[in-house]
Amino acid sequence: MGQLFSSEEELSQVKDAIGSLLYDAMLEGDAIPDLRLQGDIGKRAPTYLKDLIGRLSSFSDEPRLAGLVGLVVTMVMDMAYTSSKQSSGVKGKSAGSSSCQRVWELQEVMEEYLKRCKINLSDKSRLIQDSIRLEAQLSLTLTQLKTCLLGGDCDSRSLRHWASGAAFHSQMLVHLAGFEGQAEPLAARAALEQYKEDLTQIIPAYRRYKSNSVCVVKCRGGLASCDPSSEVPEEGSMTGLTVTDSETGKSVTIPLSALKTEIGRRRSVSGLDTTSATVSSSINLDLITSDQYVQAYLHHLFSDKGPVAELENYFIKASGNLRTLKIEQGCTNKTGAK
């Protein structure tokens, strides 16, 4: 049957080791939600968008500003690519949900901004007018999307697109500052700081969402269905764990022997228990509930090594870059506008 845990501290150590193991297994199984703002989507951008990147880069002699335009286009392409995957059969929320509607509105404003830039490349006055109009529209849509996320409609896709839109908005303000001849992008800095604060409010809502999308089932001679009520009537010895994320549509199964071996190794390496290899073989992992396994996994999903931390670090790094960014005055772009 296996022994009880000798203390709360030992139970905590075991759950931490298991959480790390489950996270690594899900990561290896490509079952972790993707919150990255950049990927290789931009490589599949249509030719006209690739051309637009080069033409927009001529707005400033500042190399960092030129690079930001490519990021903007990548975000738009990511939205389009993710949406196409959603419509081709990947499970997700209804297209009529409030956050989905705001995401589409966000994408439309972003694409409209790129289109207006392309149309008015040689007319600085029109560029400024369009930027001011669309910047305000994008800001409002982001606020509305944030409200949806905080209201419980916070899946990974909506969170990533909110973050993409927030970064996009900040870069719009950087370019607007350049168009208007400002020495520093003060509005962009203020916006980015606000979005950093917004993200700290959104993350708890996202964790609540993931608590409902992630399920850990104890295997007993075969794979069990992801049904919380199935834990009580199951009979027989626990033979492993199956972790499923309904949002990504993927799952991984880890045999009990692998669990115990890895727990012992990790605790020994970390110095938590010099007799881990012996103790772990006799510990009854069935004493840990399915919900505790879920929380152990989520602890690592939301840790410094997880995708949420990557998202936070993106905004921290961008904020640091903007604090030191100076916009060169009087520069002339290749279209002749000053």
- How far apart are the C-alpha atoms of 158 and 99, rounded to whole Å? 6
Q: Is 172 found in the same domain as 84?
A: yes
Residues contacting 112, CB < 8 A, separation 6+: 134
Q: Is 97 found in the same domain as 18?
A: no
136 found inside a domain: yes
Least confident piece of the model among 6-20, 51-65, 106-120, 277-291: 51-65
Q: Is 196 found in the same domain as 92?
A: yes
Q: Is 149 found in the same domain as 134?
A: yes
121 found inside a domain: yes
- Percent of the chain's residues with pLDDT above 70: 69
Q: Is 51 found in the same domain as 16?
A: no
282 found inside a domain: yes
Q: Is 54 found in the same domain as 141?
A: yes
Q: Is 261 found in the same domain as 225?
A: yes
Backbone angles phi, psi at 251, to 5 degrees: -150, 160
Q: What pLDDT, on the 0 to 100 scale, is given for residue 73?
A: 54
266 found inside a domain: yes
Q: What pLDDT, on the 0 to 100 scale, is given for residue 241?
A: 96
Q: Is 220 found in the same domain as 196?
A: no
Identify whether the C-beta of residue 158 lies closer than 8 Å to the C-beta of residue 99.
yes
73-130 residue pLDDT tens:
555 555 555 555 554 444 455 555 788 889 889 888 887 887 888 788 788 899 899 9
Q: What pLDDT, on the 0 to 100 scale, is given for residue 217?
A: 95
164 found inside a domain: yes
Domain residues for the domain of 227 are 8-29+213-301
Residues contacting 197, CB < 8 A, separation 6+: none
Q: Is 140 found in the same domain as 128?
A: yes
Q: Closest Cα to residue 177, out of 192, 164, 162?
A: 192
292-324 residue pLDDT tens:
999 999 999 999 999 999 999 999 999 998 888
129 found inside a domain: yes
Give SS3 for 254: strand
Count of CB atoms situated within 10 Å of the CB of 85: 12
- 309: its two tokens: 């931390």
Q: Is 312 found in the same domain as 221?
A: no
Q: Is 129 found in the same domain as 249?
A: no
3 found inside a domain: no
Q: Is the pLDDT of residue 180 over 70?
A: yes
Q: Is 220 found in the same domain as 97?
A: no
Q: What pLDDT, on the 0 to 100 scale, is given for residue 294?
A: 97
Q: What pLDDT, on the 0 to 100 scale, is given for residue 122?
A: 84
Question: Which pTM was predicted?
Answer: 0.81
154-173 residue pLDDT tens:
999 899 989 989 988 998 89
Count up the domains in the chain and report the number.
Answer: 2
332 found inside a domain: no
Q: What pLDDT, on the 0 to 100 scale, is given for residue 55?
A: 53
